[in-house]
Amino acid sequence: MVMRTMRANTKWIMLATAIAFVALMVFEWGMDLTGQSSAQFSGGEIGRVNGDGISYNEYNAVYRNLYDQQQQFVNGPIGTAMNKQIEDAAFEQVVMQHLIWQELERRGIVVTDEEVRQAARFEPPPEMRSSPLFLTEGQFDLNKYHAYLSSPAVDPNLLLQLEAYYRDAIPRSKLYFQTTAGYHVPDDELWRMWRDSRDEVTVRYLVFDPAARVEDAAVTVGNNEISQYYREHRDEFLRPARATVKYIVIDRAPDAADSTAALERVRALRSEIVGGAEFAAVAARESADSISAAQGGQLEITRGQTAPAFDQAAFSQRIGELSEPVMTQFGYHLIRTESRSGDSATVRHILVPIELTVEHEDRVLDMADSLDALTETLSLEAAAQQLGLEVSEAELVPGLEFVSGIGLADDGAAWAFDDAEIGDVSQLFETPTVYYAFELMNREEERTLTEAEATETIRTALTIEKKIDQVRATAREAVDRLRAGESMETVAQAYGLEVEEAGPFSRSDFVPGMGRMNAAIGTAFGLRPGQTSGVVESDNSLFIIHVVARVDADRAAWEAQKEEQRQQVTQALAEQRWNQYMAALRESARVADNRAEVLQPAGTITTGN
């Protein structure tokens, strides 16, 4: 095989740089070092992409990978709504894999043996670059990597996996550069970007607030005006679907007693270590930080990298000293600093999280079981009364599923919008911190508000417009007085205003009182020091702006970094073009999604957990 000849000395080629450059964009659709996700699998067909079949095994391999990744970030079970998102993401990822394979074939993009050799020697996969086997003082050591590949003990299967990895990755990198090449950002555009973030002005200004200066009673809005506005802006009155629910919550978050129990446990572990137990053995047995526990609790950290309390202990205590229990948002820690050099340190730690005691968890589970059973036959109110729980009410909107006392209630929202009938009581849903149940009181589908329903909103908008019209003449009078030589303080006093100040700020900054990247900010940068604007309308207010000082961007500093900036901007534009290219492929593709018919019952994909 090609990889068996990697030990030969060969000249580095630019393709490896290309692979590194596009790794995050193209590898996420490719395979990992195990070779799983890019292989063509056999099995039942659950969809098609431009006539190519998508097998169940192929889809399930990607699904399981995404599921396992998500599970690392979820404290507790993955709910129905999140699982549906993972399923859809997996299907879309497989679709994009097929589209890339088809595009590679259409363009005749292949990879040569020499390209595989060179890439493997000089651009190892991310998993290998971060492996402790190939690190020297925390940095990837190419010599160690080469020595490993040359070793007779190297696993032949690894070499085969490396070869498969590059035969998948290199064509993708070629496709990326074929579709994104040709960008050149001219100097004047680079200078504009630099200047926009570094030109600064300091201003004084007057602001007329029409809403405060004109009484509502002084403005009349006729019905014919409202009707005309509604006809011209009807698409602005689309109301999303919404559901009204009653809900009850069972708190499953740790309480003070659980915190005390965790503290007692960590103190007992400290006593065990002080009494002669080996720290590494206790950490491997007890620490909830499974990654460091596998290394005997060892961590390599830099100052400011960890939680403040952890950081303070690690960098202040004596080398070899065992800390008292240290509390962070993750729980209680025991920390022993092994070595320290500047802002780096090697420490060992044991994490004891604050979690429910067995007794507390049993009480919560008993309550949850009782609620689940009662809601099968009783209304939510009746079930809550028997259990001494409070009933609350909330309105749900798709995409805004946060509910007071619950947090993200996406499973309950999916039930309310997709499955429930009015008056139904849900099963018990679970989040990392609560159990909860819904009763659906009302639901409205997405619709456009009628003119009658939109009338007050329209009246408010038209009232603001008319108030601005009335105040505009007053603001122009103020400008005339300033240009006639009166001071800004005098004019402000005449109109009951305060002289406001802001700056220095750049074009891209948010400026309190003025806003961000609007007409007021643009006007400020259109003036030179000492100049005063006319009336500027921005964010339903009227401004008069006087520039006090201005600092222009340093062109010499820009010249010194210009090529680095050009590279960064070119890369960003290339990524944008790649995303557009892939989106266009997806939009024009003929995709058949047969999951609902093939996977019965829906959502019973094996997770391997």
Structure tokens at 575: 């990524």
The whole-number pLDDT of residue 600 equals 54
Amino acid of residue 102: Q
Q: Is the pLDDT of residue 177 over 70?
A: yes
Alpha helices in 242-307, H assignment, sequence order:
256-274, 279-286, 290-293
Q: What is the mean pLDDT of residues 240-246?
A: 92
Q: Is the pLDDT of residue 12 over 60?
A: no
The CATH code of the domain that includes 205 is 3.10.50
The whole-number pLDDT of residue 92 equals 92
Q: Which three-class secondary structure state does DSSP give residue 100?
A: helix
DSSP tally for the chain: helices H, then strands E: 22, 23
Do 175 and 206 fall into the same domain?
no
Do 388 and 438 fall into the same domain?
yes
Exposed/middle/buried for residue 496 (C-beta within 10 Å: 0-12, 13-18, 19+): exposed
pLDDT band at 229 (very low <50, low <70, confident <90, very high): very high
Q: What is the mean pLDDT of residues 566-590?
A: 89
Structure tokens at 259: 């915190």
The whole-number pLDDT of residue 11 equals 28
User: Cis ω on the peptide bond leading into residue 504 (within 30° of 0)?
Assistant: yes
The number of residues in the chain equals 609
Do 379 and 492 fall into the same domain?
no
Do 398 and 472 fall into the same domain?
no
Do 48 and 103 fall into the same domain?
yes
Does any domain span residue 143? Answer: yes
Q: Is the pLDDT of residue 28 over 70?
A: no
How far apart (Å, rounded) are the C-alpha atoms in residues 247 and 68? 31
Does any domain span residue 321? Answer: yes
- Give the H/E segment covering residue 203: strand 200-208
The CATH code of the domain that includes 291 is 3.10.50.40
With tokens 């820690």, the residue in question is 333
pLDDT in tens, 131-143: 777 888 778 888 8
Q: State the DSSP string of 375-425.
A: TTTS-HHHHHHHHT---EEEEEBTTB-EETTTEE-HHHHHIIIII--TT-B
- Give the H/E segment covering residue 7: none
Does any domain span residue 566? Answer: no
The whole-number pLDDT of residue 550 equals 94
Do 92 and 108 fall into the same domain?
yes
pLDDT band at 75 (very low <50, low <70, confident <90, very high): low
Does any domain span residue 488? Answer: yes
Q: Is the pLDDT of residue 21 over 80?
A: no
- Using the 8-state DSSP alphabet, how is residue 495 labeled? T
Do 337 and 471 fall into the same domain?
no
C-alpha 563: how far from its chain's center? 30
Do 287 and 421 fall into the same domain?
no
How far apart (Å, rounded) are the C-alpha atoms in residues 223 and 455? 9
The whole-number pLDDT of residue 35 equals 40
Amino acid of residue 373: A
Structure tokens at 541: 């207010």
Does any domain span residue 60? Answer: yes
C-alpha 57: how far from its chain's center? 29
What average pLDDT does the chain have? 84
Q: Which residues contact 55 (CB under 8 A, 6 or more apart)?
A: 40, 41, 42, 43, 44, 45, 46
Structure tokens at 552: 């222009």
Q: Is the pLDDT of residue 88 over 70?
A: yes
Do 7 and 85 fall into the same domain?
yes
Task: Pick the last residue of a domain from 420, 445, 470.
Answer: 445
Does any domain span residue 535? Answer: yes
Sign, CA dihedral 215-221-226-229, equals negative
- Give the H/E segment covering residue 479: helix 451-483
Q: Is the pLDDT of residue 239 over 80?
A: yes
Q: Which residues contact 20 (CB under 8 A, 6 or more apart)?
A: 123
Per the structure, how many domains does the chain have?
A: 4
Task: Pick the last residue of a domain from 445, 472, 498.
Answer: 445
Q: Which residues contact 431 (CB under 8 A, 6 or more apart)?
A: 76, 79, 406, 407, 408, 409
Contact 526/241 with Cβ under 8 angstroms?
no
The whole-number pLDDT of residue 34 equals 40
What's the CA angle centered on 454, arms 449 and 459, to 5 degrees? 165
pLDDT in tens, 271-326: 999 999 999 999 999 998 887 888 899 988 888 878 888 989 999 999 999 999 99
Does any domain span residue 33? Answer: yes
Contact 345/315 with Cβ under 8 angstroms?
yes
Q: Is the pLDDT of residue 90 over 60?
A: yes
* Closest to 462 measured CA to CA, from 540, 514, 538, 537: 540
User: Residue 324 phi/psi, 5° resolution?
Assistant: -70, 165
Do 373 and 266 fall into the same domain?
no
Does any domain span residue 575? Answer: no
The whole-number pLDDT of residue 602 equals 39
| % of the chain exceeding 70 in pLDDT | 90
Contact 586/99 with Cβ under 8 angstroms?
yes
Task: Pick the last residue of a domain from 303, 332, 352.
Answer: 352
Q: Is the pLDDT of residue 31 over 70?
A: no
What does the radius of gyration of the chain's CA atoms come to, in whole angstroms?
32
The whole-number pLDDT of residue 67 equals 85
The whole-number pLDDT of residue 139 equals 82
Do 147 and 269 fall into the same domain?
no
Q: What is the mean pLDDT of residues 470-492?
A: 93
The whole-number pLDDT of residue 152 equals 74
C-alpha 153: how far from its chain's center? 42
**Domain, as residue range, for 374:** 242-254+358-445
Do 419 and 460 fall into the same domain?
no
Amino acid of residue 21: F
